[in-house]
Amino acid sequence: METKKFGHFLVESGKIKRDYSSVQLNVQDRLSDEIISWGYDNIPEKYVFFNPDRPSFGRENNIHITILYGVSGKDKASVGDLLKNIKPFTVRLGKMSLFFNNVFDVLKIDVDSPDLHHINSILVKNLDVFQTYPKYIPHVTIAYLNKNKGEKYKELGEFNGEKFQVNNLIFSSKDGTNHEIKLGANNA
């Protein structure tokens, strides 16, 4: 199944340049909607980091967990082959925390899932990958915030303990096209 979303439009139009493909999972709709709503209800617009040259920053409206960014290829078949024995699994959300850099804070929800670490390890060992971060830290990004505006949200437990079943993953090609990879015996 091939899907195109707004991100695909941005890639095609040249507004976002993606050098690599990725593997991710989309958070189930109900929970995704709750996370997006929480962000709009609790984070004032003046706190949200905006850069007109990088429209992928700001509020996250595609609630997902990246398993691996930096895949050089754009063919989902090799990823599907590597993951053919992975069975559906459960992900548990934790408290909110932050990533920091010199320009903005990233407000995120921590994620607990040994399965995600296992899948990340399989992909890193078997694919041509450019890694920007040496340690895999699964998380759900809520928003990119202006510098020093995230501290008040740290340790909030709004979604702590929420669990959901993962039945498929997404191979997101660097051209912006998403391909579903079903977990279990028939993940073709």
Q: Could you give the strand order of the β-sheet that contains 21-26, starting from the edge strand earlier in sequence?
A: 2-3, 178-182, 168-172, 21-26, 64-71
Which uninterrupted H or E stretch holds 81? helix 76-82
Beta-strand ranges (E) seen in the chain are: 2-3, 21-26, 64-71, 89-100, 104-112, 139-146, 163-166, 168-172, 178-182
State pTM to two decimals.
0.86
Residue 7: pLDDT over 60: no
How many whole angstroms separate alpha carbon 184 and alpha carbon 188?
Answer: 10
Residue 186: the pLDDT is 53
Give 141-179 pLDDT, tens digit per residue. Answer: 999 999 999 999 999 999 999 999 999 999 999 888 999
- The answer to whether the beta carbons of residues 113 and 89 sit under 8 Å apart is yes
Give 53-73 pLDDT, tens digit per residue. Answer: 887 799 999 999 999 999 987
Residue 29: pLDDT over 70: yes
Which numeric CATH code is attached to 2-182? 3.90.1140.10
Domain ranges of the chain: 2-182
